[in-house]
Amino acid sequence: MIWLTWRQFRAQAITAAAALAVFAILLVATESDLSSMYNSSGLTTCHGDACAGLASAFLEQLSSGGGGFLIPGSAYMILYFLSVLVILIAPAITGVFWGAPLIARELEAGTFRLTWNQSITRTRWLTVKLALIGVAAMAVTEAFSLLQAWWAAPIGKAVGLGGGSSIFSEGRFGWFVFPTHGITPLGYAAFGFALGVTAGLVIRRPIPAMAITLAIFAAIQFITPLWIRPNLFPTNHTVASIAATNAGVGTTKFSPNLKVTATVPGQPGAWILSTGIVSPAGQPVSTVPAFCKSAIPVPNSQGRAAQSQSQSQGQSSALANCLASHGMRVTESYQPASHYWPLQLSETGMFLALALALACYCFWRLNRRRS
């Protein structure tokens, strides 16, 4: 049964191995130059606040080279963007092209009867398919992730030291970085494959099963960072002065609503979920108070602030200083950096549990099906 499954799966396996080889060659060919640029940037010997400026300069050097809207400019940006994208969509690809047709194709063509009539039970038939191909899907996805993490290690170190530039500025908790690094790719790969198998078993037609698998998996990838991941662990809350949080305070376009960007004092690398301004009495302040409206940038006739970037920063500082002088403070909800691996374990465990539940449903449904 194992040999038969391998024979049926060998085309997909060869394709995956070829893609992984091309991926590895591209990363290995450019890794030495990337590491050399990092070593010559001064980041290996810097200390304190000087590291943030050097890290930003290093990332700017990587991202230089032009490019258009949503299209990374330099070769390093393109490779970084594509490598993260490959890991992000790999579980969907294995679910759509490996999982969905796995059972649906045999049910549609009736070839399953040839196996079931040769003293091979349905449970054994499904167990071998799920175990062999499911483990392959997880191994391929995690291999992509480990290769990318090795190649992008200098970029990750620079971001951790406070650097920020374009797509490189995402920290470990970012929408694209978190699900493509660590152990979460294993959970996503297992879930995507199990979802595809389940859709194929229920629908019994490969093409509709593939479409439904892709739609559900895409929805899950969108919902998880918005509503599930932030609540896997209890969030921390803090209220601190505007100066302590290095808060930048501005207004949203065409309205006096406050827009706040800040850091968490004493919590480098924290995942900030929400920020806001509160009054001395602890009440939320969502719009610019009347006593600070003079610090709001004055728009010109085209509705844009008539000022340079340095003047805009000065206006933001003036607004922050005005709010601080009246006792306003910054409130923040966040996940500390120490929650990174607990969140990784929780999210991976959640998707592995979902994959196991889907596999159990497949066994139950298959054993209830008439030949």
Phi, psi of 332 (to 5 degrees): -135, 140
Beta strands 258-261 and 271-278, pairing class: unpaired
- Residue 99 CB-density burial (10 A; 0-12 exposed, 13-18 middle, 19+ buried): buried
Look-up: residue for tokens 């393109």?
A: 78
- How far apart are alpha carbons 185 and 347 in whole angstroms? 10
Q: What are the strands, taking DSSP E only, across 189-341?
A: 236-241, 248-251, 258-261, 271-278, 284-285, 329-335
Q: What share of the chain is helix, strand, coil (3-state, %, to 5)?
A: 65, 10, 25
For position 297, what pLDDT does the model report? 62
Window from 213-227, 253-267, 271-285, 332-346 with minimum mean pLDDT: 253-267
Q: What is the pLDDT averaged over residues 216-238? A: 96
Phi, psi of 237 (to 5 degrees): -130, 145
Q: What is the pLDDT averaged over residues 212-220? A: 98
SS3 173: coil
Q: Which tens digits make up the pLDDT trace of 163-200? A: 875 567 788 999 999 999 999 999 999 999 999 999 99
Give 232-237's long-range contacts (Cβ < 8 A, gap of 24+): 232/343, 232/346, 232/347, 232/350, 233/335, 233/339, 233/342, 233/343, 233/346, 235/273, 235/333, 235/334, 235/335, 236/333, 236/334, 236/335, 236/336, 237/331, 237/332, 237/333, 237/334
pLDDT surpasses 80 at 253: no
Structure tokens at 177: 């970085």
Is 140:90 a contact under the CB 8 Å cutoff? Answer: yes
pLDDT surpasses 50 at 303: no
| pLDDT category of residue 209 using cuts at 50, 70 and 90 | very high
DSSP string, 63-90: H-S---TTS--SHHHHHHHHHHHHHHHH
For position 65, what pLDDT does the model report? 58
Q: What is the pLDDT averaged over residues 266-276? A: 93
- How far apart are alpha carbons 246 and 330 in whole angstroms? 10
Instruction: Give me the chain's average pLDDT, please.
Output: 89
Q: What is the pLDDT averaged over residues 337-343? A: 96
Structure tokens at 107: 């049910």
For position 295, what pLDDT does the model report? 84
Q: Which tens digits make up the pLDDT trace of 23-62? A: 999 999 999 999 999 999 999 999 887 898 899 888 888 8
Is 316:250 a contact under the CB 8 Å cutoff? Answer: yes
Top-confidence range, 51-60, 67-76, 108-117, 276-285: 276-285
- How far apart are alpha carbons 98 and 210 in whole angstroms? 9
For position 70, what pLDDT does the model report? 44
Q: What is the pLDDT averaged over residues 88-95? A: 98
pLDDT surpasses 50 at 301: no
For position 71, what pLDDT does the model report? 43
pTM recorded for the entire structure: 0.91
pLDDT surpasses 80 at 307: no
| pLDDT category of residue 2 using cuts at 50, 70 and 90 | confident
Q: What is the pLDDT averaged over residues 80-86? A: 94
For position 239, what pLDDT does the model report? 97
Q: What is the pLDDT averaged over residues 89-113? A: 93
For position 268, what pLDDT does the model report? 87
List the chain domain ranges: 2-232+340-368, 243-299+306-327
Q: What is the pLDDT averaged over residues 203-227? A: 97
For position 252, what pLDDT does the model report? 77
| pLDDT category of residue 75 using cuts at 50, 70 and 90 | confident
Q: What is the pLDDT averaged over residues 121-138? A: 95
Q: What is the pLDDT averaged over residues 200-223? A: 97
pLDDT surpasses 90 at 4: no
